[in-house]
Amino acid sequence: MIRSQKKWKIKISRQTGTDFGSKCVLKIVFLQVIYLLFTAFFLPVAIAADRSSQTYIQNYKDIAISKSDEYSIPYKVILGIAIVESGSGQSRTAKELNNHFGIVGKNSLKRKTRYRQYGDAKESYDHFCRLLRKKEFYSGMKNIRDHELWVRAISRTGYSEMPLVWEKRVLGVIDDINIL
């Protein structure tokens, strides 16, 4: 170790103190600063995300309710999955491909992407509901309004690559949907 580094270490240890109390105070101050920085950065992001979710719900609730009536799938399940998969309609896939559910398929984009393209959001919603109708669980779930059962059943079919995380996110979004 270089002599100047030793002096620096000694100087720092003298300034911060070596007793237990001063170390605790420093840790508490450090954690408070981290907390303040964290909330200052992420709170506005969370508020903006909530606003975009509310805007998304207002824009697409009629489609979700219509598909719910047609396919007997709870509208909150349809909207919740769409919000998570499309980033409240802000994802590149939702904007460029009108794909609100992350459904894989063909598209006409020049850039390479694995997601299917739709003419409009309504077509995306309809295709998602038709896909669910083909699943084995659908006949037993039809007309059941328990959104947790629906989300778990969909998750178990391999809809998401991280099923438990996906379930939690979708159920969290569904809990915040209050339109009827």
Contacts 24+ apart (CB under 8 A), 78-81: 78/125, 78/128, 78/129, 79/173, 79/174, 79/177, 80/147, 80/151, 80/170, 80/171, 80/173, 80/174, 80/177, 81/128, 81/151, 81/154, 81/170
Q: Rounded to whole angstroms, how far apart are CA atoms 1 and 170?
A: 54
- Does 104 map to a domain? yes
Average of pLDDT values for 6-26?
A: 54
- Express each pLDDT in 110-157 by its tens digit: 888 999 999 999 999 999 999 999 999 999 998 899 999 999 999 999
- Does 99 map to a domain? yes
135 Cβ contact partners less than 8 Å away, ≥ 6 residues apart = 153, 154, 157
User: Which domain CATH number covers 144?
Assistant: 1.10.530.10
- Does 125 map to a domain? yes
- Does 160 map to a domain? yes
Q: Rounded to whole angstroms, how far apart are CA atoms 142 and 165?
A: 25
Residue numbers of the domain that contains 81: 52-180
Quick one: pLDDT at residue 39?
44
- Does 4 map to a domain? no
- Does 24 map to a domain? no
- Does 5 map to a domain? no
Quick one: pLDDT at residue 125?
98
- The answer to whether the beta carbons of residues 101 and 159 sit under 8 Å apart is no
- Does 43 map to a domain? no
- Express each pLDDT in 40-99 by its tens digit: 444 333 433 467 789 999 999 999 999 999 999 999 999 999 999 999 999 999 999 999
Least confident range from 9-13, 41-45, 112-116, 171-175: namely 41-45
State how many domains the chain has: 1
What is the three-class DSSP state of 52? helix
H or E element at residue 14: helix 3-16
Quick one: pLDDT at residue 142?
87
- Express each pLDDT in 23-38 by its tens digit: 655 666 565 555 444 4
